[in-house]
């Protein structure tokens, strides 16, 4: 590995980082400088001495991943990406938190080179890191330690570890012995409200030891570069468990006025406070001080070190291996998957959750990089690859991940796995528990993470479990998330098509599946455009638009109406998002706006009025009774749909 920077260069670089950490928030009149200042030596040591990465090749598959879970300290990461040569400029730092800048308030994956995941909501980045570590372990087992052998480093603060998601994720990581996962806990004992003593007396080291983590209590070494390096390399060499490095830091250091003060967390230093701190550091009192020679030396060091990392890896791995890994990180081709998709005959009567499992298994050879799992509901949700082994502490080749009753952690881990690349993560639970996963689903959409969320038991048809387990508002809730593809297939063939649409989509997908059996009414062709006519008449008087299990209700209603002399078309609409991408003319050909349009869905009617003129749905919570009884009592019946349609047609 390339030589280290000199002690003088270390000191100048750390002062430069701290100066930028104050200057950018001051100019923006917004930001969090205190944590970035105190962690400047840590970031410097990580980037320049420890991490296996290359600024000239930010997507190199065997790079170490670095996640800033306490993403409010984003200026720390941006300062490193500027100093290290990832492409950020001083102008980018001067545009910190401004419109269309490369330096938004919190790090965003896909927006800024060198940012691995989108962080900000505390604890999410920590749980993303667990997913990344799972993906790395599986790929290492598949390709061998010469091709894949990197670590995931995550920096987390008190807030990350207070959030409930961290408890779930840490427990899972310890159980799986993810020894390529290293968390540096920024133990500065400060939150926005004040000292952590106000709210928390957890013994964090003891907590993580109880999860099975290796814990290194590093103590007061936050400003000692050599001590930091020794501890981080010690963590990297640990085998058999993830590692927590507890680093005692002092927020706002070395500010004479605000060190260890909660005001340093999120209130940009005044110009006077910045000046006094720069005086203590012994650097010029000028904004965005970044001497060309210091920056050039740093970038040269990083480029040399990074090129050496990549060159050594290339020399050890054949072109065939490198190409295979590159291809594995790309979006699958529909043409490679479609031939493997099962086709269900018209006499099929099967719950879509059961159909999903059949589809998943049928495409196993075509999609060997799928890692499926569920939150203690593997068989119930269909997110199961029968015949494959479990991913575990002793079997990294396993393709079935058992997340336990940890929906929060599972959702974020799926995002981390997807953003790591090389695997297609699938995770299932009951639809009502999408509420537990919503922050992760939202961040998946924001970062275009290619993961598949599988939600079964999708309506009041769940039955006897009652309203606590009967999703009503959840479809509307997920459809409101920009960038999330939501597909509710009506039958087994639409389920097959939904899987194809999910794995070839450049972003996250939620597939919503039924508990109860449904007849095979379609050929699945409605999924690609988002909607299609599955029953047409020569002179329709109205259009019935249904999703999921309610398609059969709409079909039954069309027969009642036909007997009463009212012909209607029936449209299956598995995906609003895909339908919305059609041209106006294409939409009009499927659902003419000149006719009454009646939506049929066993859930909230919220949002349907932009498509339908009349809605049959459920705008209340469900009830405990057999599913068919609940459906009938709440009006999801062919008779009620026919009655609503007659009123719409006859005025």
List the catalytic residues: 407
CA 42 to chain centroid, in Å, comes to 26
C-alpha distance from residue 2 to each of 37, 49, 78, 314 (Å): 27, 9, 23, 17
- Measure the CA–CA gap between 71 and 119, rounded to whole angstroms: 5
Grouping H, G, I as helix, E, B as strand and the rest as coil, residue 471 is coil
- The number of beta carbons lying within 10 Å of the beta carbon of residue 413 is 32
Listing DSSP states for 411-438 in one string gives: HHHHHHHHHH-SSEEEEEEEGGGHHHHH
Question: What is the 3-class SS of 36-91, one letter each residue?
Answer: HHHCHHHHHHHHHHHCCCCCCCCCCCCCCEEEECCHHHHHHHHHHHHHHCCCCCHH
Q: Label the pairing between strands 509-512 and 485-487.
A: parallel
List Cβ neighbours of 7 (8 Å cut-off, separation of 6 or more): none
First-residue to last-residue Cα distance in the chain: 80
> Quick one: DSSP state of residue 338?
G
Q: With contact defined as beta carbons under 8 Å apart, do 93 and 79 qualify? A: yes
Q: Give the relative orientation of helices 434-447 and 407-420 as an angle to the nearest 10 degrees.
A: 20
Q: 572 - beta bridge partners? A: 532, 546
List Cβ neighbours of 33 (8 Å cut-off, separation of 6 or more): 21, 22, 24, 25, 26, 75, 252, 264, 268, 269
Angle 84-85-87 (CA atoms, 0-180°, nearest 5)? 135
């Amino acid at each position: 590995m390339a030589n280290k920077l000199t002690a003088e260069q270390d000191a100048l670089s750390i002062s430069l980082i701290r100066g930028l950490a104050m200057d950018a928030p001051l100019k923006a009149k917004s930001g969090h400088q205190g944590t970035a200042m105190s962690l400047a030596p840590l970031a410097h040591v990580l980037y320049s001495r420890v991490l296996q990465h290359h600024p000239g090749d930010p997507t190199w598959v065997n790079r170490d991943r670095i996640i800033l879970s306490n993403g409010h300290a984003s200026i720390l990461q941006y300062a490193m990406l500027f100093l290290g040569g990832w492409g950020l400029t001083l102008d980018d730092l001067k545009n910190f938190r401004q419109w269309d800048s490369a330096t938004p308030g919190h790090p965003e994956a896909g927006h800024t080179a060198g940012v691995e995941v989108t962080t900000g909501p505390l604890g999410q980045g920590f749980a993303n890191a667990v997913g990344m570590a799972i993906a790395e372990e599986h790929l290492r087992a598949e390709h061998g330690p010469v091709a894949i052998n990197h670590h995931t480093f995550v920096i987390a603060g008190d807030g990350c570890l207070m959030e409930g998601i961290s408890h779930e994720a840490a427990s899972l990581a310890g159980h799986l012995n993810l020894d390529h996962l290293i968390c540096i806990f920024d133990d500065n004992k400060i939150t926005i409200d004040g000292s952590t003593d106000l709210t928390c007396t957890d013994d964090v080291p003891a907590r993580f030891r109880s999860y099975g983590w290796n814990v290194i209590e590093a103590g007061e070494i936050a400003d000692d570069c050599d001590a930091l390096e020794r501890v981080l390399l010690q963590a990297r060499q640990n085998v058999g468990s993830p590692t927590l490095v507890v680093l005692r830091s002092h927020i706002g250091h070395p500010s004479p006025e605000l060190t260890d003060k909660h005001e340093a967390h999120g209130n940009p230093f005044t110009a006077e406070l910045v000046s006094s701190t720069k005086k203590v550091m012994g650097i010029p009192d000028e904004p965005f001080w970044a001497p060309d020679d210091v920056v050039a030396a740093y970038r040269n060091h990083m480029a040399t070190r990074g090129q050496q990392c990549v060159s050594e890896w290339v020399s050890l791995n054949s072109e065939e291996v490198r190409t295979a890994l590159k291809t594995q990180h790309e979006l699958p081709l529909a043409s490679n998957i479609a031939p493997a998709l099962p086709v269900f005959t018209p006499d099929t009567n099967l719950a879509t959750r059961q159909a999903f499992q059949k589809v998943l298994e049928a495409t196993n050879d075509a999609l060997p990089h799928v890692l499926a799992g569920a939150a203690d509901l593997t068989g119930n949700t269909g997110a199961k690859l029968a015949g494959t082994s479990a991913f575990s502490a002793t079997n990294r080749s396993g393709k079935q991940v058992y997340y336990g009753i940890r929906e929060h952690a599972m959702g974020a881990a799926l995002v981390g796995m997807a953003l790591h690349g090389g695997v297609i993560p699938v995770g299932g639970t009951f639809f009502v528990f999408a509420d537990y996963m919503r922050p992760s689903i939202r961040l998946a959409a924001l970062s275009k993470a290619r993961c598949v969320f599988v939600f079964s038991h999708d309506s009041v048809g769940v039955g006897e479990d009652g309203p606590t387990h009967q999703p009503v508002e959840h479809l509307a809730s997920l459809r409101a998330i920009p960038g999330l593809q939501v597909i509710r297939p009506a039958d087994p063939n639409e389920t097959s098509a939904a899987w194809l649409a999910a794995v070839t989509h450049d972003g996250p997908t939620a597939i919503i599946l039924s508990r109860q059996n449904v007849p095979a009414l379609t050929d699945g062709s409605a999924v690609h455009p988002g909607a299609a006519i599955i029953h047409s008449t020569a002179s329709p008087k109205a259009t019935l638009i249904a999703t999921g299990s309610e398609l059969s209700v709409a079909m039954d209603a069309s027969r009642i109406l036909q007997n009463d002399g009212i012909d209607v078309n029936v449209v299956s609409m598995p995906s609003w998002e895909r339908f919305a991408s059609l041209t106006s003319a294409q939409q009009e050909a499927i659902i003419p706006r000149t006719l009454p349009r009646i939506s049929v869905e066993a859930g909230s009617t919220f949002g349907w009025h932009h498509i339908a003129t009349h809605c049959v749905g459920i705008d209340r919570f469900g009830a405990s009774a057999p599913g068919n009884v609940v459906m009938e009592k709440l009006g999801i019946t062919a008779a009620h749909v026919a009655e609503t349609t007659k009123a719409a047609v006859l005025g």
